[in-house]
Amino acid sequence: MRTLILGGARSGKSALAERLAMASGHDVVYIATGQARDAEMAARIAHHRSRRPATWQSVEEPLALAAALRAHARPGRCVLVDCLTLWLSNLLGDEDASRFDRERKALLEVMPSLTGQVLLVSNEVGLGVVPLGELTRRFVDEAGRLHQALAGQCETVLFVAAGLPLALKGSLA
């Protein structure tokens, strides 16, 4: 079962994903894509870590997400990825300009073969104004394309606003 959880900043999407992971009854592997490049991001990462049960396995993988999913997804396990937009940012800022295309392709190719439960958290960034800068516009465009492709591969797609989940595809149960 693959679930894509979308929402804005501070919408409650990560908390929902964590509740779903706990409710799964499976062993949980948490794949974190964030990188502590400054004190503010380090504090955010520390906050997320503090919410996770000690029994969850944590994997920090800012770039090779498909490989991490392939390595950890299996029956009887829940893999929670938080978050795809940080992963996208990491790739768009990578020195190897072609890496994004390779990693995106690898992610979309591995998704149908994943077993167990997979929860993908991502920021929905296409609801606001059109960004002014070229890189920011590319980020919004690529996030939207990625979300559409993944939504087509996931059995469930949820949108979270104000801590309230709305099932766009499948059901919340």
Catalytic residue positions, numbered: 48
| Coil vs helix vs strand at 77 | strand
CA proximity to 160, closest of 172, 145, 144 = 172
| Coil vs helix vs strand at 22 | helix
CA proximity to 147, closest of 125, 116, 162, 165 = 125
Pairs from 136-140 (Cβ < 8 Å, separation ≥ 24): 138/92, 139/88, 139/89, 139/92
Q: Quickly count helices (H) and strands (E) in the chain.
A: 6, 7
Kindly report the number of other CB atoms within 10 A of residue 149's CB atom.
14
Asked, as a colleague might, if the bond just before 83 is cis with ω within 30 of 0, I would say yes
Q: Give me the sheet containing 156-161, strands edge to edge.
A: 57-60, 27-32, 77-82, 117-123, 2-7, 156-161, 164-169
